[in-house]
Every structure is written in structure tokens, then in C-alpha cells.
Structure 1
Amino acid sequence: MTVDGPASATTVLRRTVLLVAVINLAYFGIEVVVAVAIGSVALLADSVDFLEDTAVNVLIALALGWSLAARARVGRVLAIVILLPAIAVVVQLVLKVGDPQAPAALPLMLAAAGAAVVNLVCALLLARIRAAGGSMVGAAWLAARNDVVINLAIVAMGVITLWIGTGWPDIVLGTLIVVLNGRAALEVWRLAGEESLAARALEGDDLDDD
């Protein structure tokens, strides 16, 4: 990837994260339809993760070139964006526990395999720019990479569901994905806190110089 200066580098970064956002949004639409149709909590939680990744990458595009203080504020917004949709999945989990029917395994596995491919593509796109994109792009890359593992776990869960014929594997994995989303929110909040402290330190340096 060749750039001619800071402005060109920012343009490349912004275009890349926006492309990743569009890809995530498109697959969110596919996965949420399949999840609702087959009654899979794990797949629903994973579809929410695609929506979260869409929001994260859009906000990263908006934040590129901003000050550390502004990026810290955006980071806190990201944390909230990651955490709030998980509430809807928690509600579905509670309902599923009361009626643990097994989701249709074949469409579950196909949707999860497709999600793994999509997340791998996004991880490769973000890997090209993560060194120049700062902590937020690095966090987005880590999320996409980790999502591939989750998608493969859903495929494995589909195989187990075929074997035992109940919805409990779906419930257990759905719970795990919700917990991971909560941890991701905390990590983004921590990174935002670090950038806020760095911004304050820079302001202190400026005051000292004056």
C-alpha cells in the first residue's frame, strides 16, 4: 500500500475501515434473518456482533485525524455501542432457557461458516492498516480475528446439536458470546481511558512549555 503523505494515509485508512463496515453490515442482515428463522441464540448474538463491528468501524473512520481527547470520547461511545445490543440477546437467552429447542443445524453451520469467511476477509483488510491506525484500528483487527474463532465454534456447536438434538449447546455458546461482547466493551473503554490520560499529559506538556 503506497501513500504520498499523512493526508493520503488517512484517506486509505478511512476507506479501508468504511469498506469493513459495509461488509459487516451486509452480513449482519444475512445472519440475523437466518438466526431468527431457525431460532439460534448463538447465531443471533453473532449477528449483533456484526452490527457492533459496523458501528465501531464507522466511528473509527470519523475519528481518524482527530485529537487524542476526541478519540477518547469516541472510544467511550464505542464501548456503549458494543454493550447495549447484547441486552437484546440476553432477553432471547432467558426465553430460550424456558424452551430449549434445537435450531436447524445445517443453515446454522452454513451461516456461521460464511461469517468466518467474512471476518477473515475483514481481519486481513484491517491487518494492512493496523500499524498506522492506532489503538482503535488495532482493536477492530483483534475483534475481527477473534470473531473467526467464534464462528468456527458455532459450526462445531451445529455438529454437536445434530448429535444430541437439544438447544442447550446453542444456549451455552450464546451466553459465551454475550460475555465476550461485554469484555470487548470493557477493553474499548480501557483503551479510551488510556488515550484520555495521554491527551491530558500532552495538555500538561503544552502548559509547561508556555
Structure 2
Amino acid sequence: MPHDCNHCDHEGTLRRGKYRQLLWIAVALNVAMFVIEVGASLTSNSVSLLADSIDFLGDSANYGLSLFVLGMSVTVRAKASLVKALSMLLFGLGVLSAAVWHAATDAHPEASTMGVVGTLALVVNCAVALMLFAHREGDSNMRSVWLCTRNDALGNIAVLLAALGVFGTGAAWPDLAVAGIMAALAVTSAFHVFRQARGEIRANHDVRETAPSE
């Protein structure tokens, strides 16, 4: 039996080590894409690209936070997830504000830049999603990482659809509509992560309360 426990501990250590490596790769890719997309969003006047670039920056911070708390207690990881949920909520509200501002100023996005950069972002996010797929059903910390990655890939597809819409209609509303959808996705994901993290904190607190004192 002790041999089995040691074997489980060894496998858990190897799994955490692999997950840590994947998170470092994800951080590097997300920082690079943030730089590319924020520049492209300014030159193309696209609010959906701006939303995606901010999302890349937020994910970089989230992955870094996950690296910091990896291996710590359930409560610490869950509290880190609450920070992530707050950042996702702020991102969603910020994108909604940007969309309203672009609509008020009647800014017109450039479809070609949106299409090229959106395709590159989709390739990067799909690669990260494939890397992290095996870790999608972990605790709230892992869950939040997976949701961020999934949201990114869905957001990239939406940006490409927005580019087609802008190209086909010659209007800005497809770009604004996609930005609104991405913002709503971030807000709903934030509430999912918040609810799971709060549940983990309460469960861990109940366990400590009922544990016999030595």
C-alpha cells in the first residue's frame, strides 16, 4: 500500500511538472500575441481585435498566477481563481465600454487586418487549447485556465466572422457585435469560475471545521 501511495505521489509530481511547463509556453505565446494584436487593433480600428488583445494580456497574467499557486493548498488556489474571475469580469466590462465608444464615434474597422491577425491568433490559441486539454477538469484554478483558453479560441473565430461581416457589409456593426459577444462570454465565465472557487473554499473550510483536533 505505501508503494502505491508513493507511486501516486510520483505521478502527481510529474503531472504538475508537465502542467507547469505547458503554462510557461502559454504565457510566452499569449504575451507575443498581445503585442501583435494590440498594434493591429490600433492600426485597423477594430474593437474586436482590441478585445482579443486585452484577453491575451489577461490570460498571460492568469497563467502566471496559476504558475505561482501551483502546488499550494486548495484554498490558496481557489482564492487565486477569485482574482482570475474578477479580471475576466473587468475585461468583459471594459470591452463593452470600448464597443460603446467606437459606436459613438462611428469608427470603421479594416477587414483585411482583422482577418490576417485573427487567423494567426486562432492558430496560437488552438495550439494552447490542445496542450491544456488534458487538464481541463481539475480544480477551479485549472478550470479557469481552460475556460480562458477556450474563450480565446472562440473569440478568434468570432473575430474572423466579424472581419467577413465588415468586408461584406462595409459597416462597423459586425465588429461591435462580436466584441459584445466576447464581453458577454468573459462575464459569464467569470461567474462560473467564481461559483466553483467559492464552493471549494467553503468545502475546505467545512473539512477543517469537522476534522478532529490532535
TM-score by length of structure 2 reads: 0.87
- Per-residue deviation at 1:124? 0.8
- 1:184 counterpart = 2:189: yes
Whether the aligned pair in 2 keeps the contact of 1:68 and 1:198 (CA below 8 Å) is: no
- 1:174 counterpart = 2:179: yes
| Residue identity (%) | 30
Pick the aligned partner of 1:94 from 73, 91, 100. Answer: 100
Whether the aligned pair in 2 keeps the contact of 1:101 and 1:166 (CA below 8 Å) is: no
Return closer, same or farther for 1:86/1:145 CA change in 2, 3 Å cut-off.
closer
Q: Where does residue 5 of structure 2 map in the other structure?
A: none
Paired with 2:165 and 2:83, the residues of 1 have a C-alpha distance of 37
What secondary structure does 2:139 align onto? helix
Whether the aligned pair in 1 keeps the contact of 2:114 and 2:163 (CA below 8 Å) is: yes
In the alignment of these two chains, the number of paired residues is: 206
Q: Where does residue 200 of structure 1 map in the other structure?
A: 205
What letter is aligned with 2:119?
A
Which stretch shows the higher mean deviation, 161-170 or 149-158?
149-158
TM-score by length of structure 1 reads: 0.89
CA RMSD of aligned residues (A): 2.0
What secondary structure does 1:84 align onto? helix
- Per-residue deviation at 1:13? 1.7
What secondary structure does 1:57 align onto? helix
Q: Where does residue 139 of structure 1 map in the other structure?
A: 144
Q: Where does residue 135 of structure 2 map in the other structure?
A: 129
What letter is aligned with 1:83?
L
1:162-195 deviation line (CA, Å, top 9, x unaligned): 1111111111111111111111211221121011
1:84-129 deviation line (CA, Å, top 9, x unaligned): 2444433322221113332110110111111111110110111133
- 1:37 counterpart = 2:76: no
Q: Where does residue 67 of structure 1 map in the other structure?
A: 73
Where in structure 1 do 4 or more consecutive aligned residues deviate above 4 Å? none
